[in-house]
Structure 1
Amino acid sequence: MRVRMRGIASALAVVTAVGCGDSFFQVSDPDLLEATNIDPEADGLTLARSAFQNLVDAFGNIIVYSAWWSHEARVGDTFPTRNEFGRRFIDDTNGTLNTDTWTPITLAASTGEQVVQTLQGTPGLALAIGAFTEGYAMVLMAETFCEGTVASSPEEPGPRLSTAQMLDRAVEKLTLARNEALQAGGSEATDMAQAALVGIARAHLQAGRKAEAAAAAAQVDPDFVYELRYVDDAANRGRLGNTVWDFTTSRQSLVVPPEYRDIADSGDTRVKYDDSGRLAQDSELQFYRQLKFPGYGVNIRLASGLEARYIIAEATGSVQDQLDLINERRAIGNQGAFSSTDPTEVFAELMAQRARDFWLEGKKMGDYRRNGHAVPYVIPDNAAYYKPGVGTMGNQQCWPVPDVEKRTNPNFS
C-alpha cells in the first residue's frame, strides 16, 4: 500500500483528541501538510492526531468483521462479500475485504509510521501518538490478517510481513509510544503509556511469549480503562462515528446470535440486545440488535486493566488464579461459582468469561487463533452455515491479503 504524507492530513479536516478528551483540532488547510512543509513542532500534534483517527476509524470495522468471522454476530446482510466473513471462506478478490478492513488498518499503521519517521528527533506526545497508532494497528492486523504490511515511506509501499513480524513490530512501536508518553507527562500521555503496556502484553501473548506478556500486563493498574472516542456528527459519521452502531442502525446487518442472546436472557448484563421486531437487511434473519454500543457517539474500550488480568491468567497458566478471575467475573454476570478444578475445563471457562467481557471489542478472533475451539461459540470448520442457501462454513484461520495488494505492491513478495 502506498500512502503519501499529504494523505495523512487530508483524510480528516476535523481531528478528535486522543482517547476520551473533549478537544477538537481544526486543520485549516489540510493540503498544506505535505512532507516538505511539515514543521515537527508546529504541525506534529495535528499530524499525529489525524493518524490516530485512522486507527479509531479502522477499529470499528475490525470489530464488525471479526465479530462475523468469530460468530460474535451473525451476518444479516445480502452482500456475498460479507457473508464470506461469516462463513470463514474469504476469497482474496473480495472487494469488501479490501475496502472495509485491509485499507483502513494498513492506512492506520502506515500513517502512524510516517508520523514516527517525520517526528524523529522531536520527542514528545506527538511522537508517542504516532508510535501508539502504528503499534495498535499492527496488533489488530496481526490478529486478523494472515500477513500484513506497513509503508515506512510516503513514496514506497511496504514489504510483506508475517504474523510474527507484525507482532514484533507492534511491541517495538508500543514500547516507543510508552517511553515517549512517560517522558511527555500529563494525563493523556500517562493513559497512553498504560494502554501501550496492555498492547505490548497482548502482542507478546499472541506471539506465544507468555512470560513477557505476563510481565508487561502486571504493570497495568487493575482499574485502568482506555477508550477510543466516537462522535455523533451527522456530517462525518462514517469517519467519526461508532461503526458497530452504524451496522446496527443504518445497515441493520449485525445480528446477535442465539448463544449471546441466551447470555443476556440469563441476566448477564455484559451482553445487551433487543428484538427489533423486524428482519435484518437480508430479509432472512430476525434482527436481534446489539445494545452494548447504542449510538454513534458511544466510546469503545481498546485496553484495560481487566484485559491485563486476563492476559496474566492465561500467560501464567495458574489454575487457581484463573479460577479466582473466573468466579469474580461470574459474579458480575449473575452466575454461580465455577466448581471444577480440571485445568482444561477451567481454561475453557476462562475463555467463556473473556468472550462475555469483551463481546464486540475486537479480541475474539485473536483468542481463537491462539486457543482454537477452547474459545466458545465459534462455528466448527466445514459445518453448516446459519443461512443454508449461502453455502457452508470454511476453515480459514485468518483473513487473506487482498489480491489487489499483491498485484500492485511490487514489494509484497
Structure 2
Amino acid sequence: MEFLIPTRTSRPSDDPIFALNTEARARAAAGEAIINATVGALLDDEGRLSVLGSVAQTLREVPPNVGAGYAPIEGDASFLKAVVADVMGQRPEADWTVAIATPGGSGALRLAMADFLDTGQAALTTSYFWGPYRTIADELDRGLATFRMFDANGRLDGADLEHTLSAQIEAQGRALLFINSPCHNPTGYSFDADEWRQLAAIVGRAADRAPVTLLIDIAYARYGQRSLDEAVDALLGLAGRALLLFAWSASKSFTQYGLRVGALLAVHPDPEARRRIRSALSYSCRGTWSNCNAGGMAAIGRALTDPDLRARTDQERAALKSLLDRRVEAWNSLATDAGLRYPRYDGGFFTTVFCADAFAVAARLKEEGIFVVPQTGALRVALCSVAERDIPRLVQGIARHVTR
C-alpha cells in the first residue's frame, strides 16, 4: 500500500550537491588528498569555515528572551528596515519597498514562486542555474523554463531572453523571471552596466503586455567586483511597470549559512499594491514556516545598523573577499593557459567550465579525488572551498579530461 501521493513517490532523499560533499568529506577523513569544489561555503586555505568574528560575537550578545521568543510573522521591523537600506540605500524608492523575512534566500525564492505564479505555470531563468530553483518549483507544482544565457560573444543573450519571455506571456498570461547576478551561481558571471540596461529594456517591453515580475537573486553580490548599485539604478525605472523583487540572504554576506536569515523585497510605487503584496507574502509565511529566526534577525539587524559593528563586519568581509579574489586570479591565469572554456569570471564563489560530457568527466575526476558538480553542458567549480595551493592541481585535472 502506497501512502505517498503519486508525484512524491520517486523523489531523491538528498540534494545531489550535498551528497557529493558528504562523499568528498568522508574520503578526505580517510586520508585521501581530496579537492572538494562542491558546496558553496567560503573556507580558508586550511579548510576551515570562514566566519565573520564580529557577527559571531553579535549573535552571542543577543538577549536570551529575544532569541527564544517568537518573531513577528513578517519579520522584525528594525531588521527589515535595515535590509531595505542595505539594498536601496538612501534612494526615495526605499519608501516603495515591502520587505518580508524568510529562512535564507531559499525562502525568498519560494515566496516568489508561490505568490507570483499560479499552479502549473513556470518561472523563467538562465540556461545555467542553481539546481534548487527547479526543486522549489517542483515542490510548489510550478515549472521552470530557461532561456539561452550566453550569446556567441559570451554575453547575456538578450535576443533569446526576449523571445522566450514573450512566449511565456503568450502561454500563461504572466511571467516570473529569476536573474542571479552579481556572481551568478553556477557560472560566476556578473552583468555589466550595459547588460543591466538591456535586461531592463527587455522586461519593460514585456511588462507593457502582461504582469511581469523580475526577481534579482543577490545572495553572492557582496563578493563581486561590480557594485550592486549598478543593478539597482538600472532596474528601478521598471517599478510600477513590472514588479521588482530582490532575494536577500545573510548566508554568504554574513557567513551565517545555518542561521537561515533572509528577506524578500518587493518594489512598487502604489501603496495599495504594496498592501496586497505584503498581505499575500505574510499569509504564505504563516502557512509555510510561520516565522523566522528571532535571534538571527536581531544580530544581523544590529550588524547592519550599528556603525562601529558594521565597520568591523565590512572590514572582516573585505579580508575574506581578498582571499577569494586571489583564488579567482589564480584560476583565471591557470585556466586560460590550460585552454579551459568558461564565462567571464571576476569574483564570486563559483565558476563553470563548459564541457559536453560533464557527468562522465565529473565521475572520472572523482576517481582522481577531485569533486566538482556536473550539470548539462558544464562543470560547476566552487573555488570558495578550494585552497589557493590546490588550484593548479584542480585546473590540471579538469584540463586533462575536458580539453583532450
Q: TM-score range by the shorter chain?
A: under 0.3
Choose between structure 1 and 2 for higher RCO, CA contacts under 8 A separated by at least 6 residues.
Answer: 2
More strand per residue: 2
